[in-house]
Amino acid sequence: MKVRNSLKSLKDRHRDCRVIRRRGRTYVINKTNRRFKARQG
């Protein structure tokens, strides 16, 4: 899990990446390739 300021560039790394908001934090998760995880805040 990476902590980043900008999640837009991480979302574009893989076509299955999704931006999801949980508990006031913004996450990028990927169901097919679980390496691509990040959070903001």
The total domain count for the chain is: 1
The pLDDT confidence band at residue 39, using thresholds 50, 70 and 90, is very high
Distance, CA of 5 to CA of 23 (rounded, Å): 17
Among 11, 3, 6, residue whose Cα is nearest residue 29: 11
Cα angle value 41/12/2 (rounded, 5°):
35
The pTM assigned to this predicted structure is 0.76
What is the average per-residue pLDDT within 8-34?
91
Residue 19: give the domain boundaries.
Answer: 2-40
